[in-house]
Structure 1
Amino acid sequence: MKKWLSAFRLRTLPLALSSIGMGSFLAAAVGQFNWSIFALCALTTIFLQILSNLANDYGDTVNGADSEHREGPQRAVQSGEISLGAMKAAMAIFIVLCLISGISLLYISFGLNMQAFLFFFGLGILAILAAIAYTAGRKPYGYMGLGDLSVLTFFGLVGVMGSYYLYTNSISLDLILPAISCGLFSVAVLNVNNIRDIESDKKAGKFSIPVRIGREAAVRYHVALILLGVLASCIYCFINYHSWYQFAFIVVLPLFSVNIKAVKNKTSAKELDPYLKQMALSTLIFILFFGFGQLL
């Protein structure tokens, strides 16, 4: 069980729940929160994140990114703790769990409204395919530097605006701002990971953004992701201003500053690795302060 829990990468789950949390807070702010929807949203998101982590473990081993040259934490398939066959079986189990949880969620949200049901079911299938195809398959898009765009889409736009719609059956264009904010912070977590693995990714032919632009430019990119994320939330609060409490998320800026400083100054993979979790937790704390600010 310990090896499987390690393969699940539980430290990534707070980030996965951030977009659901953002959408849920926004829905609660207009009086449309539902605990059943929240529970199934969270469960489906957790299953998707674990599926993505397992597929990443499997794909990076098959495609060579997880090799003896890798400087980050050793992965389950790479180390031989879990066989390729067992990992594929686990992926299949989590695909089924995603479908069961997701279909239950859509039924509670939409009932017999088949148009909305089928649209979101299609989004769910795309999310499953995106989770798998990031590093697994013949042409994994993560190896082409498209992981950032996928994270922005699914951890930002789809996660926030989609979960909001599940509660309210409506949407507002200004929600794109907090969605982008959440998405950019999630991309920043991926960017820390890719900066950490830049040398091993080069050798494996994995052309992430940091591999393409170099470490120095990747640090500037990291700063831009965080600053633009904060700016997007500030603009949303100015547009929908009703209380200065809405800007409570400003107290999280020192945590982001710590992360930026670490990415800039810590050059070894071992030193930088803890700041993936730190950035993920900082994002979740940001969402909590943002959300409570909307409710007060």
Structure 2
Amino acid sequence: MKWAIGFPKRAYTVMEVRTGFATGLPILSSGLFGAYLVGELKVIPLLLFIICGYSFNIVANVANEIRAYLKNEEDESTFTEHLGSEGLVRGDATLLDACLTLLGMIGVGGLSGLLLAWLLQSWLLFTLGCLGLLAAITYSLGPKPYILYPIGEFVSGLFVGGLSSLVSSWIQTGSVTINTLSFALISMLMTVFLMSTNNTGDYEKDLGVRKTLPHIIGFRNSILIIIPEFILLLLAWTVVCLTSFHWWVFLFGLGIFALQWYWRWYRQYYKIEAVYPEMGREFGPRPLLLIYHFHGWMSIICLVLFFLNKGIVNWI
């Protein structure tokens, strides 16, 4: 009984709950964006997909915790001290706790995804869900986890941000268009920012353990490459606004980028010449804050515009 009562708290320490929103929020904003475009909101499919995407993101986080523990890749010198992470390595949770948490989140995400595919009678959704779950698990676990190779940023960006965003808008609209593709590209690039910043901060720690993109292109180049990626993001945002929004939404988005991308992150990040021990702890969360603010505000804006345009709300 004592073990069961303490399990939720121990499970929390290996889930890294906050990064689950890196999938959950893009799904929410993209779904509401799609609903705004067609004037109809399918509530239950949106909620089910948010639960599925968020859960699969947690699956990837827990799998990463298990790998770090089994491979002895973390110690006191590498702890980020972020709440809800590294509990397995610290000893707050046991391997059994982590495995049960992994299975539980697979169950929650899998059941919500299956129900969504059944409601919409879509084998495509079922197939994409299976691929997403496979990507979440094999990110860190299995004989050839792709966390070991310099493709992790792209694959994570594709599944966590891009594909989940595109599917969410497709569920609402029933089609893929230039504006939903551009919105998904924004989500993908923001996820790439998050993964890239974490990998760059772990540059020294990962040497000899895995080969990430910063090891291939060099430390400074891994910081500088953010600039052309951000230019691509701005182009995608311009396309979204030209095809879907009024001018004030475009300016509002630019304000978010100016504050969360430049002022609170990149203006300091750009100046770093060499990795230092606290780098991951200081800069790792900043791209996540960009994701929070952009997709949080876009969710509110799309929902307000949807009701102002007298959109129809349906449960299914």
TM, length-normalised to structure 2: 0.83
Cα distance change on mapping 1:80 and 1:56 into 2, 3 Å = same
Question: Offset at 1:88?
Answer: 2.2
Correspondence 1:49 to 2:49: no
Q: Name the aligned partner's letter for residue 45 of structure 2.
A: I
Aligned partners of 2:137, 2:107: CA distance in 1, in Å? 13
- Note if contact 2:26-2:161 (Cα within 8 Å) is conserved in structure 1: yes
**Do the aligned partners of 2:64 and 2:140 also contact (CA within 8 Å) in 1?**
yes
Show the counterpart of 2:294: 286
Give the counterpart of 1:13 among 12, 15, 20.
20
Q: Which residue of 1 aligns with 2:30?
A: 23
In the alignment, which residue of structure 2 is the partner of 1:98?
A: 109
Which AA in structure 1 matches 2:227? Answer: V
Residue identity matched to 2:160 = F
Name the SS of the counterpart of 2:207 in structure 1. helix
The structure-2 alpha-carbon separation of the partners of 1:242 and 1:176, relative to structure 1 and needing over 3 Å to count, comes to closer
Structure-to-structure mapping, 1:106-185, within 5 angstroms: 106-108=117-119, 110=120, 113=121, 117-185=122-190
Residues 286-295 or 252-261, more deviating? 286-295
- CA–CA distance in structure 1, aligned partners of residues 300 and 104 of structure 2: 36
Structure 2: how far apart are the matches of 1:208 and 1:284?
Answer: 25
Residue 235 in 1 paired to residue 249 in 2?
no
Q: 1:194 to 1:83 in 2, by over 3 A?
A: same
Distance 2:285 2:181 in 1: 25
Which is helix-richer, 1 or 2?
1
Is the alpha carbon distance of 1:198 and 1:48 closer, same or farther for their aligned partners in structure 2, counting shifts above 3 Å?
A: same
AA at the equivalent of 2:270: K
Higher relative contact order (CA 8 A, sep 6+): 2
Q: Which residue of 1 aligns with 2:311?
A: none
Q: SS at the partner of 2:225?
A: helix
Cα distance in 2, alignment partners of residues 126 and 27 from structure 1: 23
| Residue of structure 2 equivalent to 1:208 | 212
Q: Deviations over 1:218-269 (max 9, x none)?
A: 101223333322321112222x155212302111122101211332346434
Q: Are the counterparts in 2 of residues 262 and 275 from structure 1 also a CA contact under 8 Å?
A: no
Q: Aligned pair in 2 of structure 1 residues 77, 246: CA closer, same or farther (>3 Å)?
A: same
Structure 1: gaps spanning 5 or more residues: none
Cα offsets for 1:109-136 (capped at 9, x unmatched): x1xx3xxx22111111111111111111
Moved more, 78-87 or 22-31: 78-87
Structure 1 stretches of 4+ moved >6 Å: none
Name the SS for the 1:139 alignment partner: coil
Could you tell me how far apart the structure 1 residues matched to 2:205 and 2:110 are? 34
Q: Match of 1:245, as an amino acid?
A: W
The 3 A distance-change label for structure 1 pair 292 and 4 is: closer
Please give the per-residue CA displacement for 1:139-184, whole angstroms capped at 9, x wherever unaligned: 1111111111112211233111101122232222442111111110
User: Structure 1 residue 71: deviation in Å?
Assistant: 5.3
**Aligned-partner residue type, residue 224 of structure 1:** P
Name the residue aligned to 1:244: 247
2:57 partner amino acid: Q
Q: Tell me which amino acid in the other structure corresponds to 2:19.
A: T
User: Structure 1 residue 261 and structure 2 residue 267: aligned?
Assistant: yes
**Unpaired runs of at least 5, structure 2:** 1-7, 309-316
Q: Secondary structure at the match of 2:268?
A: helix
Provide the rounded CA distance (Å) in 2 between the counterparts of 1:93 and 1:13: 15
Deviation at 1:56, TM superposition (A): 0.7
Letter in 1 for 2:93: I
TM-score, normalized by length of structure 1?
0.88
Q: Secondary structure of 1:203's match?
A: coil
- Structure 2 counterpart of 1:270, one-letter code: E
Range with greater deviation from structure 2 (85-94 or 153-162): 85-94
Same amino acid, percent of matched pairs: 20
Offset of residue 272 of structure 1: 4.0
Tell me the equivalent position of 2:312: none
2:198 corresponds to 1:198: no
Offset of 1:64 from its aligned partner? Answer: 4.2
1:33 alignment partner, SS class: strand
